Copies of this chain bind each other. A is one copy, B any other.
Amino acid sequence: MTNHPKSLTGVDTPAAIIDMHRMQHNIQRMQARMDALGVRFRPHVKTTKCSPVVKAQISAGANGITVSTLKEAAHFFDDGITDILYGVGMVANKLLQALALRRRGCDLKILTDSVDSARAIVSFGAEHGEVFEVWIEIDTDGHRSGIRPDESALLDVATVLHEGGARLGGVMTHAGSSYELNTREALAAMAEQERSGCVRAAERLREAGLPCPVVSVGSTPTALRAEHLQGVTEVRAGVYVFFDLVMHNVGVCSTEDVALSVLTTVIGHQAEKGWAIVDAGWMAMSRDRGTQKQQRDFGYGQVCGIDGAVIPGYILSGANQEHGILSREDAPDTDIAARFPIGTLLRILPNHACATGAQFPAYQALDEEGGITEWSRLHGW
């Protein structure tokens, strides 16, 4: 129902607000770091799935993008981006979609970590006369997919691809367990583990006479804390563009860097309990409780004023589908109805920007003059 509001006070709530100044700052910070480390940067657009954000990342110097779905690949290819890595292991029933994209001119790179999938790719490629560019996923931290750098399967997969007529594009890894750390030293060590493991995998391929032009690593925490990236050609990261409370707890941003917030209206109180009820429940915030196991649990989010300034000690302590429960962390604020009267507009910083953004069909981008532009985002597959 948003009808080109002039300012935040005209936006229907709940709404996903992007602070454009903070977003630009985050983009510049990451790109500068990548430039200093001497690597290309390929942002993961799964965080935002939003054309104007990705355009800003490319304008700042990014080379190509990473996507989490083939729908994202098709969308951003239509936006004019050709260099796209689909960062989820390819499987036979998605090859027709990948082929269609390549036939349209998209320089789509696909991923595998198994002989079975590699065989499916080369067999499909042979059948359709298509040379797929395939990267091999490396497991450097045990958290998800990938082949460990020293496993024999690495050469088996690479050989199937190379001899089967695919283009062996390189190796990639994602040290997602960096999200579980929270000191500069531990993150630097994880970044080194991610780097050295991926470089080791590349070296094994090259020693075997196989091509491996790209060595791609990254996660937001390791990208920002790596001390050097020798042997790495490119880095990927996603959530840095907005940051969030999980990243605050990991220690790579402050709450003042978080560029995504949910605008909400106070709709009631349970004054004796110290609760204000707001119209941002879990449907708006997402069910992500990523800070629950970290050193500071922000519930469903940190409360800020409409100006974006943190209101210390107030969080969303609970959430139903369309109701958020706002309370003071240490002890009930029995004055809460006077502090946050019905109709008060607040902004809530999310635990996890990727999850919260996905709850909204569009972002409301807030510029430095207080103006609002609606930026649509992708939903579904």
Segment at the interface with B among A27-35, A301-309, A355-363: A355-363
Chain A residues with a Cβ closer than 8 Å to the other chain, count: 61
| Minimum Cβ distance to chain B for residue A349 (Å) | 17
The closest CB in chain B to the CB of A97 belongs to: B1
CB-defined interface of A349-381 with B at 8 Å, one 1/0 digit per residue?
000101100111110000000000000000111
Q: Mark A54-85, 1 if CB is under 8 A from B, else 0.
A: 00000000000000111100000000000000
A268 with B145: CB separation less than 8 A: yes
Q: Does A327 contact B (CB under 8 A)?
A: no
Q: Which of B277, B358, B361 contacts A359 (CB 8 A)?
A: B358
Residues in B with CB closer than 8 Å to A354 are 321
New A-B pairs, 4, CB < 8 Å, besides A89-B267, A91-B265, A287-B352 = A15-B381, A88-B322, A89-B268, A289-B289
Binds B, one of A111-119, A187-195, A222-230, A249-257: A111-119
Instruction: With both chains docked as a complex, state the minimum distance between the C-beta of A162 and any C-beta of chain B, in angstroms.
Output: 20
Can you tell how many copies of this chain the complex includes?
2
A150 contacts the other chain (CB 8 A): no
Chain A contacts with B in 263-287, Cβ cutoff 8 A = 265-270, 277, 279, 282-284, 286-287
Q: Does A213 contact B (CB under 8 A)?
A: no
Closest 8 CB pairs of A and B: A287-B287, A361-B380, A287-B288, A89-B267, A91-B267, A68-B322, A89-B268, A116-B342
Does A185 reach chain B (CB closer than 8 Å)? no
Q: A263 CB to closest chain B CB, in angstroms? A: 11
Task: Tell me the bound Cα distance from A355 to B286 in angstroms.
Answer: 8
Chain B residue at smallest Cβ distance from A14: B381
Once the chains bind, are B145 and A358 in contact (CB under 8 Å)? no
Q: How far is the CB of A160 from chain B (nearest CB, A)?
A: 13
B114 touches A342 (CB 8 A): yes
Q: List 7 A-B contacts (CB under 8 A).
A: A13-B93, A89-B277, A90-B267, A91-B279, A91-B342, A93-B265, A287-B289
Contacts of A94 in B (CB 8 A): 12, 265
Min distance, Cβ A78 to any Cβ of chain B, angstroms: 14
Contact A343/B92 with A46-B322, A287-B355 known, Cβ cut-off 8 Å? yes
Residues of B within 8 A of A42 (CB): none
Alpha-carbon distance A351/B54, docked complex (angstroms): 33
Q: Are B282 and A355 in contact (CB under 8 A)?
A: yes
